[in-house]
């Protein structure tokens, strides 16, 4: 029984604009009627002189109930679902299977149940299953066509959330001096958008003719989401973080990982998760971890230089949030042995700004020259740095900051908590978590 039986019982359904479909108005429909269009059983007998084909008395069969006029080209080619009528649907229009026996007009509507398929499952495939299959195969050519130029598909397992998602939700951030960065003004950005730029999962398929390298279908991978224009020298050398655009960042600009599947434009952006590294930790390394790693490796030459003539070099990390905690952990493994790592937080009126929160400030230039100070802007790292980071965390077994796991249905609540500073460590969505 399915909802079609409800429609028959209620004599149809609403079509919209004040119109109704009425079974009682269909040619051949009479009351009373025996409903039941999802029917399986054993062949009892054949009538007439028609060829039964490979079906014989006693066979287990399922009824194909969608019988058309039997006189048109659609019916003659086995496509009665395209018949214009009059229709003779078994169950909705003529007597069906809610009975000990059911009559079928031709043996071609009796389909043998394959070995290994139970009779009850075979019965329900005749309507709901068949409709779903027709839907999937209808979109199949389009999906196959799109996959050739829309890239690789990843079955998402984990998707992290960081403050970049808050920026996307708020359409940007303040740059200072009355200026704002707006995602809605970025080329290629359209609403609605699926957020999620920290994504790990299993490779579902490859599209196009690009060489997948060492990655194959079924592999556990993490997405490098910082996709640039793909036409400049920066992108060609794996340094899309220096690309001037137009940017195609997965999550902030194009659809990302808060979904069952995510599309990636090229296999090079799928990085295998090293053995010993969990999938949830791999996911959050794609933004916060990579940005912290880029920051630590950026100061590494300076620290190494100072360490040669100073007894001890100190690295101050301001803000023990998601990025700060990663920076503390990574610095201990990247910087020279003996480097002191100090982390500062907001206290006693000192306001520490970490991340793209915007604003401005003044710099006393003479002091910078006299004390040989430097100011360097650090964004996310390149693709080669991402591979280095994954191997480093896996090989050194560097523990991740505290991870909070949530089902995807809690996205809004987690986004609110993150904005309010109530997420301890990092928030991660588990696609199979309920």
Assign 3-class secondary structure to 111-164.
EECCCCCCHHHHHHHHHHHHHHHHHHHHHHHHHHHHHHHHCEEEEEEEEEECHH
How high is the pLDDT of residue 64?
Answer: 96
Q: Do domains 3-135 and 150-287+382-387+402-430 have the same CATH topology?
A: yes
How high is the pLDDT of residue 423?
Answer: 85
With left for phi above 0 and alpha for psi between -120 and 50, is residue 197 left, alpha or beta?
alpha
Q: What is the pLDDT along the chain (434 residues), one digit of tens a residue?
A: 998 999 989 998 888 888 888 888 888 888 899 999 999 999 999 987 888 889 999 999 999 999 999 999 888 888 888 888 889 999 999 999 999 999 999 999 999 999 999 999 999 999 999 999 998 888 787 666 555 545 678 899 999 998 888 888 888 888 877 888 888 888 878 888 899 999 999 998 887 777 888 899 999 999 999 999 999 999 999 888 889 878 899 998 889 999 989 999 899 999 999 999 999 999 999 998 999 899 889 888 888 888 787 777 888 887 766 677 888 888 889 988 888 888 776 554 333 333 444 556 666 767 666 666 667 777 888 999 999 999 999 999 998 888 999 999 999 999 999 888 888 878 999 987 54
CATH 3.90.180.10 assigned to 150-287+382-387+402-430: yes
C-alpha–C-alpha distance, residues 87 and 276, integer Å: 61
- Residue whose pair of structure tokens reads 């939700």 in the numeric block: 169
118, with CB counted inside 10 A (0-12, 13-18, 19+), is exposed
Structural domain boundaries of the chain? 3-135, 150-287+382-387+402-430, 291-348
Q: Give which of 278, 258, 281, 285 is closest to 408, Cα–Cα.
A: 258
- Full DSSP string of 232-269: SHHHHTT-GGG--S----BTTTB--SSSSEEEESSGGG
How high is the pLDDT of residue 150?
Answer: 56
| Overall fold of domain 3-135 | Quinone Oxidoreductase; Chain A, domain 1 (3.90.180)
How high is the pLDDT of residue 131?
Answer: 92
Contact predicate 41/109, CB 8 Å: no
Instruction: Give the predicted TM-score (pTM) of the model.
Output: 0.63
CA 347 to each of CA 163, 273, 350: distance values in angstroms, whole numbers, following the listed order: 22, 38, 5
C-alpha–C-alpha distance, residues 182 and 115, integer Å: 59
How high is the pLDDT of residue 314?
Answer: 80
C-alpha–C-alpha distance, residues 122 and 39, integer Å: 8
- Residue whose pair of structure tokens reads 């693709």 in the numeric block: 383
Largest CA distance in the chain: 106
How high is the pLDDT of residue 378?
Answer: 76
Quick one: tokens of 414? Answer: 């987690």
């Amino acid at each position: 029984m399915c909802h079609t039986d409800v429609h028959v019982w209620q004599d149809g359904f609403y079509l919209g604009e004040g119109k109704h479909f009425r079974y009682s108005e269909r040619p051949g429909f009479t009351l009373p009627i025996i409903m039941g269009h999802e029917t399986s059983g054993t062949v009892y007998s054949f009538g007439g002189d028609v060829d039964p084909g490979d079906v014989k008395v006693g066979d287990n069969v399922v009824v194909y109930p969608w019988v058309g006029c039997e006189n048109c080209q659609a019916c003659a080619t086995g496509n009665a679902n395209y018949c214009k009528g009059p229709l003779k649907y078994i169950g909705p229009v003529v007597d069906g299977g809610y009975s000990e026996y059911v009559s079928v007009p031709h043996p071609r509507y009796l389909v043998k149940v394959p070995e290994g398929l139970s009779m009850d499952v075979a019965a329900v495939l005749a309507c709901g299953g068949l409709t779903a299959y027709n839907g999937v195969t209808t979109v199949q050519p389009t999906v196959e066509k799109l996959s050739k130029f829309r890239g690789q598909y990843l079955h998402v397992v984990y998707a992290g959330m960081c403050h970049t998602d808050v920026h996307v939700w708020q359409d940007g951030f303040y740059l200072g001096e009355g200026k704002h960065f707006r995602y809605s003004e970025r080329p290629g950005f359209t609403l609605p958008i699926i957020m999620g730029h920290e994504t790990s999962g299993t490779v579902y398929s490859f599209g196009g003719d690009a060489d997948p390298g060492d990655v194959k279908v079924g592999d556990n991978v993490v997405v490098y989401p910082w996709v640039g224009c793909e036409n400049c020298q920066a992108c060609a050398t794996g340094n899309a973080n220096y690309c001037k655009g137009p940017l195609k960042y997965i999550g902030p600009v194009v659809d990302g990982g808060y979904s069952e599947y995510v599309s990636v434009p090229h296999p090079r952006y799928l990085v295998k998760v090293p053995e010993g590294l969990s999938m949830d930790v791999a996911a959050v390394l794609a933004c916060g971890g990579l940005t912290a790693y880029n920051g630590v490796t950026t100061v590494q030459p300076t620290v190494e230089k100072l360490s040669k003539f100073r007894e001890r070099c100190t690295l101050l990390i301001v803000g023990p949030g998601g990025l700060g905690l990663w920076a503390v952990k990574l610095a201990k493994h990247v910087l020279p042995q003996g480097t002191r790592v100090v982390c500062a937080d907001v206290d006693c009126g000192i306001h520490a700004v970490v991340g793209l929160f915007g604003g401005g400030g003044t710099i006393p230039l003479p002091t910078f020259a006299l004390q040989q100070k430097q100011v360097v802007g650090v964004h996310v790292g390149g693709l080669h740095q991402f591979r280095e980071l994954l191997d480093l965390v896996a090989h050194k077994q560097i523990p991740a900051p505290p991870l909070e796991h949530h089902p995807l249905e809690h996205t809004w609540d987690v986004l609110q908590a993150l904005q309010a500073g109530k997420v301890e460590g990092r928030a991660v969505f588990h696609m199979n978590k309920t």
